[in-house]
Amino acid sequence: MTDQPRVHDPKVPSSLALGPEIDHEPAGGAHTISRALPGDSSELLYEYGLEIEARSQWGYARKRFFRHRLALASVIVLAGIFGCGILANYIAPYSYKEIPYISIAGTSVIDTSQILAKPSRHHLFGTDSAGRDTFSRTLYGIRTSARVGIFVGLLSTLIGTIIGGLAGFYGGWIDNLLMRMTDLFLTLPLLAVLLTAAKFLNSSTPTTLAVLIACLIWTGIARIVRGVFLSLREKEYVEAARAAGAGDFRIMLRHMVPNSIGPIVVAATLTIGTAISLEATLSFLGFGIRPPTPALGALLDEGQEAGLDKWWLVTYPGLLIVAIILCINFIGDGLRDALDPTQRRVRA
């Protein structure tokens, strides 16, 4: 880059960078050809045109996202909530299964004064019917729910992208087959299937539950990806790639997936929200994550069993579920505006 120092310095205003000996493209015409043609590289000392600071596509997307205040606030709130969940074993004052014992006359018995205690300095969110600290359990619950949500988001995006991508790329009977299969999954009553399956699986660890949910909610992403691929398939750069000898999978992975990354990321984000609410529903109904592993839905369930006058047991986990899902949806909106400007609802 030593041979064109002037043009590359962004600090130099363009009017200065264009010295009198530099003519630019429109005025050049046939005259510039001979100068721009190779062989005489000494002539190639300049770049045509004005200098505009290049901004990458991600740069534009980031700028648009940061302009979306609600989404930005949601990112901060959600990062706070998930951060607390991830760092639960450092932040939580108690373990999630720690039952308070006191020693009376040499035997250790449960400290009944600590059972169903109201929120206080020692127990920020109160305690449950076993005397466990609700604040600690809620933190661990966030961790479980976040883990399920993100895992579902990744897995269902993978399934949906593969199925929708193949359908959109090949079209014809493959499209028909895959999309009718998708329709079939969409007609399944989600909750009924989930409840039955969860019952059959018997042991619901967060991972099995996530796989189960992912296997049922990839349909939305598949439809979106199929639609995008159908239109990308007709793009000339896909034809050009084919003319250059690229195979089907290279075209899909190198050319089509990167061009549909916007809609995919948006859909994946929204799927995380759906997954967290589904997991909460299942756990609330007692088919999801089993005690003692805390999950936000399971905490709600325990809370309502204890009676609604023990308001602290349901209020905090419930508010957190609402906050998480709201944040995710706002982030999804912000991402849509940032990554997929054509779908913007309001012109910014």
Partner 1 sequence: MPEPLLSIRDLVVEFSTEDGIVQAVDGISYDLYPGETLGIVGESGSGKSVSTMSLLGLIPQPPGKVVRGEAFYKGKDILKVSKKELRHIRGNEIALIFQDPMTSLNPVLKIGAQIGEAIKTHHPDEKDDRIKERGIQLLRIVGVPNPDRRYEQYPHEFSGGMRQRAMIAMSIANSPSVLIADEPTTALDVTIQAQILQVLKKAQDETHAATILITHDLGLIAELADRVIVMYAGKIVELGDVHTIFESPRHPYTVGLMDSLPKLNVEEDWLRPIPGQPPSLISRPPGCPFHPRCFLSQGRVRCREEEPPLRPIAGTAHLTACHFAEELEGHTGPLVESVGAGV
**Cβ distance to partner 1 smaller for residue 93 or 258:** 258
Minimum separation from the CB atom of position 57 to partner 1 (A): 7
253 binds partner 1 (CB under 8 A): no
Q: How far is the CB of 302 from partner 1 (least distance, A)?
A: 48
Q: Of residues 209-248, which lie at the interface with partner 1 (CB under 8 A)?
A: 235-237, 239-247
Should residue 258 be labelled a site residue for partner 1 when binding is judged by CB under 8 A? Answer: yes
Judged by beta carbon, residue 49 or residue 80, the one nearer partner 1 is 49
Closest CA relative to residue 225, chosen from 196, 250, 259: 259
Residues 223-248 as b/e (b if ≥16 CB within 10 A, e otherwise) read bbbbebbeebbeeeebeebeeeeeee
135 in helix, strand or coil?
Answer: helix
Site for partner 1 contains 189 (CB under 8 A): no
For residue 254, state whether it binds partner 1 (rule: CB under 8 A).
yes
Q: CA–CA separation, 319 vs 26, rounded Å?
A: 62
Q: Say whether residue 57 binds partner 1 (CB under 8 A).
A: yes
Q: Which stretch binds partner 1 (CB under 8 A): 63-71, 99-107, 115-123, 251-259?
A: 251-259
Is 102 a residue that touches partner 1 (CB under 8 A)?
Answer: no
Minimum CB–partner distance for residue 257 and partner 1 (Å): 10
Q: How many Cα neighbours within 13 Å face the side chain of 20?
A: 0
| 37 lines the binding site for partner 1 (CB under 8 A) | yes
Residue found under tokens 């969940």: 85
Count of alpha carbons within 13 angstroms of residue 29, beta-carbon side: 1
Of 253 and 348, the one with the shorter C-beta distance to partner 1 is 253
* Partner residues linked to 127 by β-bridges: 133
- Look up residue 221 and give its amino acid: I
Do strands 107-110 and 101-104 pair parallel, antiparallel, or not at all (unpaired)? antiparallel
| 278's tokens | 């589904």
Q: Which of 199, 203, 311, 328 is nearest to 274 (CA)?
A: 328
User: Rule CB under 8 A: is residue 4 a binding residue for partner 1?
Assistant: yes
Q: Please give the residue ranges that form the binding site for partner 1 (CB under 8 A).
A: 1, 4, 8, 25-26, 29-30, 32-33, 36-38, 41, 44, 46-49, 54, 56-57, 235-237, 239-247, 250, 254-255, 258-259, 261
